[in-house]
Amino acid sequence: MTVGGRKLVGSAQRRHPDRFLQHGSILTGPAHVDLLDCLRGEDRGPARRAALLAATTNLGELLGRDCEGPFASELEDLLAAVFEERFG
């Protein structure tokens, strides 16, 4: 899922006739950029960080507030309620 051409949500899904497996992440802050520290060489440099930040966004940036900590619990509750309503 993108907002303004920048990725906010990444997910993958595997479907079977009677079930599915969903895996994904919703970026609440810029911490995903720290994953570059796990890479080698040029893949972890400042240019790569800038490119990743340019290609992604996060809820904190979009809403102009801290979206980690207590907000994460609110978001979890909201997502659980929507899934329960939709899928029972």
Query: 51, 20 in Cβ contact below 8 A?
Result: no
**Average pLDDT value for the chain:** 90
Residue 65 pLDDT > 90:
no
Q: Distance between CA atoms of 25 and 6, rounded to whole angstroms?
A: 14
Which tens digits make up the pLDDT trace of 14-51?
999 999 999 999 999 999 999 898 988 777 888 899 99
In which residue are the tokens 């930040």 written? Answer: 53
**Residue range 45-72: mean pLDDT, rounded:** 90
Residue 60 pLDDT > 80:
yes
Q: In whole angstroms, how far apart are CA 88 and each of 13, 57, 82?
A: 19, 31, 9
The amino acid at 8: L
Q: Distance between CA atoms of 20 and 79, rounded to whole angstroms?
A: 17
User: What's the pTM?
Assistant: 0.73
Residue 30: how many other CB atoms lie within 10 Å:
15
Residue 33, pLDDT score: 92
